[in-house]
Amino acid sequence: MTGIADTTLHYAANGSSKQTDSLGMRAMQRRVWDVRDAHYILVKSPPASGKSRAAMFVGLDKLKNQGLRKVIVAVPERSIGASFRDTKLTEGGFFADWKLDRDFCGVGSETGSKVRELVTFLGSETETTALCTHATLRFAFASAGLEAFDNCLVCVDELHHASNDENNRLGNFLRGLMDRGSAHILAMTGSYFRGDGAAILHPEDEARFERVIYTYYEQLNGYEHLKELHIGFRFYRGRYLDAMGEALDPQLKTIVHIPHVGSSEAAVDKMFAVDAIISALGEPLGQDSTTGFERVRAGRRILKVANLVDDGPGRDKVMSSLRNVRKREDVDVIIALGMAKEGFDWIWCEHVLTVGYRGSLTEIVQIIGRATRDAPGKTSARFTNLVSAPFANDETVARAVNDMLKAISVSLLMEQVMAPVFRFRTFKGADEFDGTPGRTGRPEPVTNMGEIEVIGTPPVDRDAARVIETDFPDLFADVQADPRTLTVMINPDDHHADVIYDMVVTDVIRTRYPGFSEEQVGDAATLFGIRSGLARAVNDEPEAIQTVPAGAAYTPDVAQDQAAATDAMAIATSAGDRFVRDTRRFIDVRELQVDLLGSRREFDDAYELLSKELNEEVLARLHGEVRALKVSMTQEEAEKLLPRIREFIGRENREPNLNSPNGREVRLADALAFLRRLARRRREDMGGADGTAGPAGADANV
């Protein structure tokens, strides 16, 4: 296994974020409490910062002091429900304890009976608090309508499961509640963005929320025990299971996430993979009949391993045992596939080992959050992504890893950095309709690695290209769900699959975009076919797919048929190459002048990148860089605010805070970030920039 040395984030560990006030509230919870009277509250705060308890505080106040009749808490999966178990808040000084009247996150699936019971709860005169999954909440909405939630607080945990897309049912439910205006909403998330690039809320909807932002670095700096977080990438060749022995440390409390079923890296059956991982830990001793955990001898220790990959009847016992974990020695290793990510609360976890490239930055940040709980004796935590080695040169991998580290770091600051995945532009050799010569020979250099150059097709309508860029996942889902598609899949020999498929795609586009002309429908259908054909082209004919480096140009082989050149797309062919390619999806990080990689050396065809220390000073500068890219401000306004910035720093002995609840202070912070970025660009224009930024306070007097 080859490696990339970790980026290490160090924290003050001053205990401030865990200190409680007279009501038993920690720092983040107090911020939420201060806006408890708001109709709509949006909390952007990291795992383990106390969002669950903040919801309890606000919910109880809504019931007792604001006249609401019920509180419904919704979580994405049942395993997260334990965070909202009964809690004695009065022990910390609060006026009441949190006690659930109905818990719909117990053992069992999302059955119709749970939905009926939730609807019954909504009509009850005596019960006031309930816990359910997002799915149960959506089905109850579909069954009982919006009016059933009148005068209720709907608390949605892990809000990023919603989106403003018209087909997202959770997003539609929240939008409906806001349009109706009777229900209150408390929305919480540890990663305020979705992996698919879709916005969570319409901007006009989000503007109606009172927002509370609490960053990872505020949280981790205030921990009592955890002092550092390591983020690293390891590359393997061959099978990932062969690298497990080196990647796993039996001494660390570990969560292992194996690759998604069907991915290129999931080369073996999932249960075979679990057995191989257990064998890499030590000698298997069989299952504990009480807990359902596997017992493994590792040296002088007997490890307790929870298998969440096996979805058979025994998993409920394992999940129940995990919910009852109270001590460090209760469990040692958890092996999971789709579970134990967001909201999973095992405070003792020291290492999260994730196998396979994860294209969703949301998923990466949520997984990191599994290791960032504070616990006695736990001073260090680690996230490792084990990825197949890219077919790329060392410099390309170094740049990609640096961009990924920046993207993760910025994401921990609750900033959105994801870009749309694909854009299309056409290339053709024929003359244009106005008589100007067509492009021949080499296209100009590719500057946006998210673009796909389609060779051999005429220019397409902009609106058609836009809907494929933004709505492709939903269009694809509609096509796959069409009965005609299913009929062809079941009986492919009885149908002209290509003809029916074209009909389905065209009909889906016509239905979703009734204002499109026939030409626009045709253009969109053509681009849909190109976009959906990318994966098939990689699998069926890898040599047809060419990776075009940034700044380079693709030269078509004129001896080939023009149609064959159509599939020459700028994409990569392996999971490792997806890691390199997808770092180009982060819209802000490539412009951030923060190099998180120090020296680099090559050995035995390996990648080893020695990282710079990612400390609070660098993180503060990184945050300012991101905001400077996004801030809407003129140079004139920023310069006029400069005297007030200096006055603020002199008075408060600190710089303005980008996340301050005081709007004027935030504007000063935005202006400072803007001026620093402007100063750096001027230095670059004068030829004095060396590609790195100075200390956080270096430009305070710009």
3-state secondary structure 124-174: CCCCCEEEEEHHHHHHHHHHHCHHHHCCEEEEECCHHHCCCCCCCHHHHHH
* Closest CA relative to residue 244, chosen from 338, 355, 332, 406: 355
Instruction: Please give the sequence-ordered ranges of beta strands (E in DSSP) within 178-291, or none if there are none.
Output: 184-189, 210-213, 228-236, 254-257, 283-287
Q: Which amino acid, 319?
A: M
Answer yes or no: same fold for 15-215 and 225-389.
Answer: yes
Tokens at residue 556, please? Answer: 């078509």
b/e string for 499-534 if b means 16 or more Cβ within 10 A?
eebeebbbbbbeebbeebeeebbbbbbbbbebbbee
Is residue 423 within 8 Å of residue 612, measured between CB atoms? Answer: no
Strand-pairing partners, residue 187, are 42, 156
Residue 172, C-beta contacts closer than 8 angstroms, at least 6 positions apart = 166
Q: Which residue has the tokens 């419904």?
A: 72
Query: CA 431, CA 349: separation in Å to the nearest integer?
Result: 63
Q: What is the pLDDT of residue 45?
A: 83
Strand-pairing partners, residue 567, are none
Q: Which amino acid, 167?
A: N
Determine the straight-line distance between the first and last CA of the chain, rounded to whole angstroms. Answer: 47
Write the pLDDT tens digit of every residue in 559-580. 333 333 233 233 233 444 554 4
Residue 265, C-beta contacts closer than 8 angstroms, at least 6 positions apart = 240, 259, 355, 356, 357, 387, 388, 575
Q: What is the pLDDT of residue 500?
A: 65
Write the pLDDT tens digit of every residue in 364-418. 777 887 888 889 989 888 888 887 766 555 566 666 666 666 666 655 554 544 3
pTM attached to this predicted model: 0.51
432 DSSP assignment: P
pLDDT-flagged residues of the chain (< 50): 4-5, 109, 164, 166, 192-197, 414, 416-457, 534-576, 579-615, 688-700, 702
Query: CA 353, CA 386: separation in Å to the nearest integer?
Result: 7
CATH topology of domain 15-215: Rossmann fold (3.40.50)
b/e string for 547-579 if b means 16 or more Cβ within 10 A?
bbeeeeebebeeeeeeeebbbbbbbbbbbbbbb
DSSP letters, 360-415, are: -HHHHHHHHTTT----TT--EEEEEEEEEPPSS-HHHHHHHHHHHHHHHHHHHTT-
CA dihedral 318, 321, 325, 330 (to 10 degrees): -70
Quote the Cα angle for 42-47-49, to 5°.
Answer: 75
CATH of domain 225-389: 3.40.50.300
Is residue 325 within 8 Å of residue 352, measured between CB atoms? Answer: no
Query: CA 507, CA 491: separation in Å to the nearest integer?
Result: 21
Is residue 60 within 8 Å of residue 128, measured between CB atoms? Answer: no
Q: How many CB atoms lie within 10 A of CB 227?
A: 18
Q: What is the pLDDT of residue 491?
A: 54
Strand order in the sheet with 152-156: 102-103, 129-133, 70-75, 152-156, 184-189, 40-44, 210-213
Query: CA 364, CA 298: separation in Å to the nearest integer?
Result: 29
Q: How far is CA 539 from CA 3, 264, 544, in A?
A: 27, 10, 10
Q: Which residue has the tokens 């007030």?
A: 644
- Extents of the domains making up the chain: 15-215, 225-389, 423-578, 631-685
